[in-house]
Chain A
Amino acid sequence: MIEVLAWLVLALPLLSCLALSLWPGEPPKAYTRAVGLGLPAIGFVLSAVIFAVLLGRDAGDRTEVSTLWNWVRSDTLSIDLALQIDPLSVLMMLVVTGVGSLIVWYSTEYMDHDRDYRRFFAELGFFLFSMLLLVMAANFFFLIVGWGLVGLASYLLIGFYYDKPSAVAASKKAFVINVIGDVGMVLAAFILVRELGTLDYGEVFAAAPGEMGMGTGVSEMVAILLFVGAAAKSAQIPLHTWLPDAMEGPTPVSALIHAATMVTAGVYMIVRSNVLYELAPYASDAVAIVGALTLLMAATIAFVQEDIKRILAWSTVSQIGYMIMAAGLGAYSAGMFHFLTHAFFKALLFLGAGIVIHALADQQSIDRMGGLKKHLRVAYLTMAVGCLAIAAIPPFSGFFSKDEIIAYSFAAGDLGVVLGIVGLVAGGLTAFYMFRLFFRVFHGPEPEGGYDVEHPHAPGPAMTIPVVVLAALAAVAGFLQVPEAWHPLEDWLAPAITAAPDLHPSGAQILISMIGGTALALAAIWFAHWMYVADPGRRLRMAGTLAGYRRLLHDQYRFDHAFEAAAVQPGRDLGDGLMATVERGGAQGIPTGVARAAILAGRGLRLAQTGLVRTYALAMVAGVAILGVIAILVVR
């Protein structure tokens, strides 16, 4: 029964996309709302039913594979169009359809005054379908298919305002970088096919330890190549530069795709492939280090951003760094736990930012905000919950999930200790930049010259209710896992995470992470308050300090410049060179030469066109005579 439900969950968003796309002309908004929101919401209900059914079974009996048909059959390789329903994919389904439905609901009001209402919801439906395919696939083949399709959906939605050059550039950038990741995934799949002859999850994970071996070059290579895909999709160094630019898309898109779901696909993939990563210790360490570096780098960049959505984008990069780090260190369930809470509070923060942006007529600079506390009461309170959650203040959800990651890191050897300290410090940085945003938007003086609108208007129910629901989830979701007390999420995921190392943080490690993290966060919040609220002028007086470093941060550590110099400009030069030589000389030169020869020949032959009928007759007779001679001499 749950197999049918699973296929329905996958099909409903696609159906919504098709029903909206194929409607002739612009459908009525009520229809768009009903279809665009209703079908994914039904998908969420069905996912919940699947979850309940699985919950009723024994832990060992919770994995089901449903094959629709055989997709590829060649010699020894056979690929099925199959879904895998297990605790991990059900968790992802619940988040994707649940948070997805909330954000679609929010969008019905947010996009109300925007253009292309239908296209927006059709593309959201397409994204939900792709994302569900990604998380429900039962083999690497359809994982990659979903991987590519979410990239396409992301491209379409970042470039939603397709007549805005910056949005188009951002969408192209996102697509190109994601394709780099896709190539890595595909190469990894090739190696798997060569080594194991299958792409099916079950078979791969069963055969990999025996066939590929522990710590061998092949295992490391597969893990690294898979991580290239994960790094591109989840915006890890050095493939992270697309995500901040992706904020060109509408805010609900940023919330859904570029914060809550798609960008965490890399985390999902690493957790799903935990068997492969446990076979590759060096690759896993590299993953963890990249995650930690990303975490630290993104947190610092967020210090100097002025665009509210870019701050949240860098914050997303940073938070995914936590998850990647946890996955690299073997704390898979901790990574998934942080994924879950992050989906709630980051979606909440984006939607709250969306309320602010909406209220200020699309103003995104926090310089033009301030003192909004009294105008946007709901946004103020919910954003406060979100900021406390991401800053890991107890008892909000981020406290439990982030501190669990740090505690597990301490338990994961020497490298883990170093990375755990990085995580702790970055937690403090996170608290600072989030409350910098919070204080500058909601507290402090109103901007000089007033807001861009007469009076910031409060949002309607369709925007308020999802935000409140998410705020409630962000506040309490942490209690899913309380250290030393209970850990239902870890138990739930256990059947899917078969190879996790046995990490047991000691009580001291847990205490250090909790107390240290909370103390740092509180100090950072106090600092932010001191700087931005206690004396609003202080910020301006301090603007000159650390100017060089601030410039580096503004340039976002010059990754874009480096790419420009290392890849884009050489590519452009190569193109120019080929244009000058191959194109002009060969590809274009040959046809032009042929055409010129034809023109010259025509000019010459024109002389034969005397217009005198008798010359034609004469030529014909002469030709026949010559042919006759040839025929007599040769044929006879």
Chain B
Amino acid sequence: MGEQILFGLASGAALMFGALVITLKKPFQATVSLIGCLLAVALLFLGLSAPFVAAIQVIVYAGAIVVLFLFVIAYLGERPLPELDNPLARYEVVGWVALVGLAGQGAVLLATSNLTGLWDQPTRPDDIGSPEAIGRSFLDDYIVPFEATSLALVVAAVGAVLLAKRGVRAEGGR
């Protein structure tokens, strides 16, 4: 019964916070809602026997990334947008139709899928979520993607530095 309760609470929280993220207009409030959503998703990971991913979710996502958001928001200051004319008003109906269409497709897929065990009780997994298993998998099977992610991080860091430098010059520095 443990997983059912966990799932019910966590999924409800995740959906609620997700809705808040996209409805709140102040970036600070939306970001705090995102923290809640991320923590709820971490709980879902725990229920899925993925403790390591859950831990990383909390540490990296809810910790580092969201802090970065908050930092930028604090740097730029709270500026609610002036209510301008919305140049995309006439397209919005297309967006809603597309969204409803996608939702319908998802429902149809889930309802009609012939994937075995989609709606059955799950089988007990082996030791797949432990740090040891993930470490072995990374270094045995996924060494190239592993290195590629490090490369992506380096590129991102360099890019951020360059962007920041240009920003300094635009402000008249140097």
| Residue ranges of A at the interface with B (Cβ–Cβ < 8 Å) | 610, 612, 614-615, 618, 621-622, 624-626, 628-629, 632, 636
Min Cβ gap A445→B in Å is 91
Q: Given that A618-B94, A622-B94 are known contacts, is A612 also in contact with B88, CB under 8 Å in the complex?
A: yes
Which residues of the other chain, A, contact B94 by a CB distance below 8 angstroms? 618, 622
The 4 closest A-B pairs by CB, nearest first: A625-B101, A625-B98, A622-B98, A628-B105
Query: Residue on A with the closest CB to B105?
Result: A628
CA–CA, A636 and B99, complex, Å: 21
Which residues of the other chain, A, contact B97 by a CB distance below 8 angstroms? 622, 625
Query: Does B95 lie within 8 Å of A618, measured CB to CB?
Result: yes
Which residues of the other chain, B, contact A615 by a CB distance below 8 angstroms? 88, 91
Partner of B102, one of A612, A614, A618, A621: A621
Task: Give per-residue flags for B78-107: 1 if the beta carbon is below 8 A from chain A beta carbons, else 0.
Answer: 000000000110010011011101100100
CA–CA, A636 and B101, complex, Å: 17
Query: Does B102 lie within 8 Å of A625, measured CB to CB?
Result: yes
CA–CA, A164 and B102, complex, Å: 77
CA–CA, A304 and B156, complex, Å: 90
**Which of chain B's residues 92-141 have a Cβ closer than 8 Å to chain A?**
94-95, 97-99, 101-102, 105, 108-109, 112
Q: Given that A618-B94, A618-B98, A636-B112 are known contacts, is A625 also in contact with B87, CB under 8 Å in the complex?
A: no
CA–CA, A622 and B102, complex, Å: 9
Which residues of the other chain, B, contact A632 by a CB distance below 8 angstroms? 105, 108-109
CA–CA, A440 and B61, complex, Å: 109
CA–CA, A536 and B97, complex, Å: 110
Say which size band chain B's interface belongs to.
Answer: 10 to 19
CA–CA, A636 and B113, complex, Å: 9
Query: Does B95 lie within 8 Å of A625, measured CB to CB?
Result: no
Query: Does A629 lie within 8 Å of B101, measured CB to CB?
Result: yes
Query: Residue on A with the closest CB to B101?
Result: A625
Which residues of the other chain, B, contact A618 by a CB distance below 8 angstroms? 88, 91, 94-95, 98
Query: Does A621 lie within 8 Å of B99, measured CB to CB?
Result: yes
Which residues of the other chain, A, contact B108 by a CB distance below 8 angstroms? 632
Q: Besides the contacts A625-B97, A629-B105, A636-B112, what 19 more A-B pairs have beta carbons closer than 8 Å?
A: A610-B87, A612-B87, A614-B88, A615-B91, A618-B88, A618-B91, A618-B94, A621-B95, A621-B98, A621-B99, A622-B97, A622-B98, A624-B98, A624-B102, A625-B105, A628-B101, A628-B102, A628-B105, A632-B108
CA–CA, A624 and B108, complex, Å: 16
Task: State the total of A-B contacts with C-beta under 8 angstroms.
Answer: 36
Question: 19 A–B contact pairs at CB < 8 A?
Answer: A612-B87, A612-B88, A614-B88, A618-B94, A618-B95, A621-B95, A621-B99, A621-B102, A622-B94, A622-B97, A622-B98, A625-B101, A625-B105, A628-B101, A628-B102, A628-B105, A629-B101, A632-B108, A632-B109
Query: Residue on A with the closest CB to B113?
Result: A636
Which residues of the other chain, A, contact B112 by a CB distance below 8 angstroms? 636
Min Cβ gap B58→A in Å is 30
Which residues of the other chain, A, contact B88 by a CB distance below 8 angstroms? 612, 614-615, 618
Min Cβ gap A613→B in Å is 10
Which residues of the other chain, A, contact B91 by a CB distance below 8 angstroms? 615, 618
CA–CA, A621 and B97, complex, Å: 10
CA–CA, A444 and B142, complex, Å: 104
Which residues of the other chain, A, contact B105 by a CB distance below 8 angstroms? 625, 628-629, 632
CA–CA, A618 and B101, complex, Å: 13
Which residues of the other chain, A, contact B95 by a CB distance below 8 angstroms? 618, 621-622
Query: Residue on B with the closest CB to A624?
Result: B102
CA–CA, A524 and B104, complex, Å: 114
Query: Residue on B with the closest CB to A623?
Result: B98
CA–CA, A281 and B84, complex, Å: 103
CA–CA, A626 and B97, complex, Å: 11
CA–CA, A68 and B162, complex, Å: 70
Query: Residue on A with the closest CB to B95?
Result: A618
Query: Residue on B with the closest CB to A620?
Result: B98
Which residues of the other chain, A, contact B109 by a CB distance below 8 angstroms? 632
CA–CA, A615 and B89, complex, Å: 11
Task: Give per-residue flags for B53-75: 1 if the beta carbon is below 8 A from chain A beta carbons, else 0.
Answer: 00000000000000000000000
CA–CA, A622 and B88, complex, Å: 15
CA–CA, A624 and B99, complex, Å: 10
CA–CA, A373 and B101, complex, Å: 109
Which residues of the other chain, B, contact A625 by a CB distance below 8 angstroms? 97-98, 101-102, 105
Min Cβ gap B118→A in Å is 15
Min Cβ gap A149→B in Å is 60
Min Cβ gap B85→A in Å is 13
Which residues of the other chain, A, contact B99 by a CB distance below 8 angstroms? 621
CA–CA, A149 and B98, complex, Å: 74
Which residues of the other chain, A, contact B87 by a CB distance below 8 angstroms? 610, 612
CA–CA, A628 and B98, complex, Å: 11
Query: Residue on B with the closest CB to A631?
Result: B105
CA–CA, A624 and B88, complex, Å: 19
CA–CA, A624 and B94, complex, Å: 13
CA–CA, A624 and B97, complex, Å: 12
Min Cβ gap A610→B in Å is 8
Which residues of the other chain, B, contact A610 by a CB distance below 8 angstroms? 87
Query: Residue on A with the closest CB to B87?
Result: A612
Which residues of the other chain, B, contact A612 by a CB distance below 8 angstroms? 87-88
CA–CA, A625 and B101, complex, Å: 6
Min Cβ gap A376→B in Å is 84
CA–CA, A201 and B28, complex, Å: 100
Query: Residue on B with the closest CB to A622?
Result: B98
Min Cβ gap A627→B in Å is 10
Min Cβ gap B79→A in Å is 19
CA–CA, A452 and B112, complex, Å: 106
Which residues of the other chain, B, contact A626 by a CB distance below 8 angstroms? 101
Min Cβ gap B95→A in Å is 5
CA–CA, A625 and B98, complex, Å: 6
CA–CA, A632 and B87, complex, Å: 33
Which residues of the other chain, B, contact A636 by a CB distance below 8 angstroms? 112
Which residues of the other chain, B, contact A622 by a CB distance below 8 angstroms? 94-95, 97-98
Min Cβ gap A85→B in Å is 70
Query: Residue on A with the closest CB to B99?
Result: A621
Min Cβ gap A619→B in Å is 9
CA–CA, A632 and B109, complex, Å: 8
Query: Residue on B with the closest CB to A628?
Result: B105
Query: Residue on A with the closest CB to B92?
Result: A618
Which residues of the other chain, B, contact A621 by a CB distance below 8 angstroms? 95, 98-99, 102
CA–CA, A45 and B58, complex, Å: 98
CA–CA, A612 and B88, complex, Å: 9
Min Cβ gap A607→B in Å is 14
